[in-house]
Structure 1
Amino acid sequence: MTENPRFDQLLAQGLEASRDNRTDAALELFAQASAAAPGSGVPHFLMGSEHASAGDIQAAELAFANAVLLAPEFHLARYQLGLLQFSSDRAAVALITWQPLFSLPESDPLRHFVSGFAALAQDRFQEALHHYRAGLQRNDDNPAVSADIGKVIAAVEQLMQPPAAGQPAAAASHVLLSGYSKGMH
């Protein structure tokens, strides 16, 4: 918690509204928290998460970008911003957004996850899987990110399977893989 009790209260109320699936109330409370502590990236990150959950990717990207602008060392916000960009067929932009994460310590799961996406953007599937699995082994803090990466691993493994006779090649069916083939080649 911060030294600003009003900010903390607004965040707590916003998180409660989010858990109760009251998106509009959560967004309003996070906006109020942002006004109470304009230099904090946390409310913007939470707004980005709400928008992403509601399917408003453009608003989510803007909110995550604001979080990163206000708090460049907020690694999870940077990761989520890049993930939205990657899954929106903008792998090159995501790799630029993620650039600072490539320099994180070897022990940081985000370093491995972004390295996995970088490999995926170049169709280096085995390398991508290696990084995703290494990141999962190091990720004790964020089960939601681990669950998403688990889905990415399954999708990459599916892409690597040879098609059965008379069947078309496996397509990237997961949203996180939708932009990889248009990435950097």
Structure 2
Amino acid sequence: MTGNATYEQCIEQGLAASLEQRSEAALALFAQASLADPTAGVPHLLIGAEHSSRGELRLAEAAFAQAVLLSPGLHLARYQLGLLQFSGQRTAAALATWQPLLALCDSHPLGHFVRGFTALAEDDHGASVRHFRRGLAHSREEAGVALGIGTVLDAVQHLLRPEEATPVAGEPRPRWASGGLH
């Protein structure tokens, strides 16, 4: 990569390196993209995702936080930051991080997923399942997130009493229930 590589080139090449499992190269390219446009949150989102895939959760959290700081409307970064906080048993921090996602339109899955985790934190497993299902029903462009939620949903459903497991009439059928995420 030449010294005058553009932001777009760095992102594109970094994504290619990540797909090829060349993590160090991906991280270097995303860092270079950040230098090319210091106001952009996307490179930090990608750095966070790369660190997360390597199990470097503290570095991932710092990168997601930087992405949210630079681009507050970068919903996926906000969601991932909150997810790391939630899984680290910092529920209050996660709920505060996720608060803006609750205002997303009803067709956006991340708001439903946040409501699902909120209900889970309150031990309301039935509501948690309903929200996760609604989010999955709207997961068209968030397939990676949906796959993780599908795993959470399976675990929460095992906690339900039989009367809680029955879907509510009029509730959208999740696409994963009919094999629609392939």
TM-score of Structure 1 vs Structure 2, range by shorter chain: 0.7 to 0.9
Q: When the two structures are superposed, what TM-score results if normalisation uses the length of structure 2?
A: 0.85
For residue 161 of structure 1, report the CA deviation from its aligned partner: 6.0
Match of 2:154 in 1: 154
For residue 49 of structure 1, report the CA deviation from its aligned partner: 0.0
Unpaired runs of at least 5, structure 1: 163-185
Unpaired runs of at least 5, structure 2: 163-182
SS at match of 1:68: helix
Match of 2:169 in 1: none
Alignment map for 1:1-185 (pairs within 5 Å): 6-160=6-160
Residues of 2 paired with 1:141 and 1:100: CA distance?
19
1:58-113 deviation line (CA, Å, top 9, x unaligned)? 00000000000000011111000000100111111100000001111111111100
Residues of 2 paired with 1:106 and 1:99: CA distance?
15
Runs of 4 or more consecutive aligned structure 1 residues displaced over 6 Å after TM superposition:
none
Residues of 2 paired with 1:130 and 1:56: CA distance?
32
Q: When the two structures are superposed, what TM-score results if normalisation uses the length of structure 1?
A: 0.83
Residues of 1 paired with 2:44 and 2:161: CA distance?
40
Q: What's the Cα RMSD here?
A: 1.4
Aligned length in residues: 159
Q: Percent identity?
A: 54
